[in-house]
Amino acid sequence: MHSFARYLVFFQYIGTKYSGVVKGPPHNLEKRGVQDYLEDAIQKLKPVNPVSLSISSRTDTGVHALSNSAHFDLQRRDDKPPFTEDVVVQALNFHLKTEQIRITRARRVPADFHARYRAQSRTYVYRLALGSSHYSLLPLTDGELCWSLSNTELQFLELTFTSRSFLYKQVRRLTGALVAVGQGKLSIPRLKHLLEVRDSLAYPQGMAAPAQGLFLTKVDYEETDLQPSEEQRPSTSNSKDGCT
């Protein structure tokens, strides 16, 4: 059936107002996740099939993304041809309106592709402001602190973490531990012990870095996993967009 297509979309967002990237609690419509808004936008494309978005990388409340990814299926009515990738990007961004969420690109992928399980690596960056007179290190997007800064020549330290997958709060805990070592609040032997025991319960309470300074910057895939099958390839007819 030519009307069915699976799309991989890459998207970015400022996470401050959302309850993380996944759906918010169904009983609390005031605190919704990024997924809620993306699925609302997909629904406005009027697919025949139920809308379900599978997100590659979970981020918590307050965490931002320069590039997260997800896949979804879309089957158009009356056996109409699939939307082109450019149309998917433009249409979803139009329906997202003023939300702090934007689709950056889309790829049509094989029907068995999965955004989460096919991901080869994920990269997070934690940004810290150095030289602030504030009692704490300043996350880049903490607006309440930014307005009161007296030093306008701040330097930023970026900590980059890349892995195929991460444990819950792993990046924030690693960042918090490194900052604690720099501040003399955690010794090197104690940090080595925390890494060796591999027990999240052993991690000191309250030491994890705040969410506001954390960014998911990249989700990588093997190019061969993204290639559509022959029957999914656009037609080579006279149609300009390949949809016939």
In-domain check, residue 242: no
Q: What is the pTM assigned to this prediction?
A: 0.83
Asked if residue 213 lies in contact with residue 127, where contact means CB atoms within 8 angstroms, the answer is yes
The pLDDT score that the predictor gives to residue 150 is 57
Mean pLDDT across the chain: 85
In-domain check, residue 64: yes
Answer yes or no: is pLDDT of 147 > 50.
no
* From 60, 73, 220, 225, the catalytic residue: 60
The pLDDT score that the predictor gives to residue 236 is 43
**Contacts made by residues 93-100, CB under 8 angstroms, sequence distance 24+:** 95/40, 95/41, 95/44, 95/45, 96/37, 96/38, 96/41, 99/37, 100/13, 100/14, 100/16, 100/17
Cα separation of 130 and 155, whole Å? 5
Which residue range is the domain that position 38 belongs to?
4-117
Answer yes or no: is pLDDT of 98 > 60.
yes
Cα separation of 234 and 84, whole Å? 9
pLDDT digits 0-9 by tens, 193-236: 988 888 888 888 888 998 988 999 999 999 999 987 665 665 54
For tokens 């819950």, what's the residue?
168
Answer yes or no: is pLDDT of 243 > 70.
no
- Model confidence at 9, pLDDT cuts 50, 70, 90, reads very high
Cα separation of 116 and 69, whole Å? 8
Q: Which amino acid type is present at position 173?
A: R
Q: Are strands 214-221 and 119-130 parallel, antiparallel or unpaired?
A: antiparallel
From the number of C-beta atoms within 10 Å of its C-beta (0-12, 13-18, 19+), residue 41 rates as buried
In-domain check, residue 71: yes
β-bridge partners, 103: 11
Per the structure, the count of domains in the chain is 2
CA 101 to chain centre: 10
For tokens 């939307």, what's the residue?
83
Whether residue 187 sits in one domain with residue 146: yes
In-domain check, residue 158: yes
- Can 60 be counted among the known catalytic residues? yes
- Model confidence at 76, pLDDT cuts 50, 70, 90, reads very high
Instruction: Provide, rounded to the nearest whole percent, the portion of the chain with pLDDT above 70.
Output: 83
Whether residue 99 sits in one domain with residue 58: yes
